[in-house]
Structure 1
Amino acid sequence: GPSVSRRDQENSMMRHARLMLVLFKPWVTVADLKTEHQTWKEALDEFIQNECPQRFQRIIDNMQLLHECRDSRDD
């Protein structure tokens, strides 16, 4: 399937935030993931700061680390 988007690239930042919320934050409707006035990035930042278990934070960080390792390998 498609790869997980990166959080460090402007063109995929919102997609990354949306995917991390869908994967790690309990939800039933979109309103559970973000407010109408929040961007996906703002909602993810708030979730990580206030609700996200440390275990999930490490998983999210490791997903990004895989991208960075691949970049280093390809340089």
Structure 2
Amino acid sequence: MTIQLDSRIQCPHCGFSRTEQMPTDACVWFWECPECGVLIKPKPGDCCVYCSYADTPCPPIQAGDGDCCQSNHEVNRS
């Protein structure tokens, strides 16, 4: 199975979206929208912002690992 690292994430506040490369070694628990500055976090039950607000789930979920990010939370403020 090929893991897709590029994912289009969209801010739920202003609708801004862009394609970003997801990390394979960390969970992105927060994402700051570069357009409006809102800091988003995963929806309840989701493991990361990509699983909540992007068109492609995070690499561990794609690989079928289930619990993607038990304790590694990364702030991505790109």
Q: Give me the TM-score of the superposition, normalised by structure 2.
A: 0.30
Structure having greater relative contact order (Cα 8 Å, sep ≥ 6): 2
More helix by share: 1
TM-score (normalizing by structure 1): 0.31
Find the structure with the greater CA-based Rg: 1
Higher strand share: 2
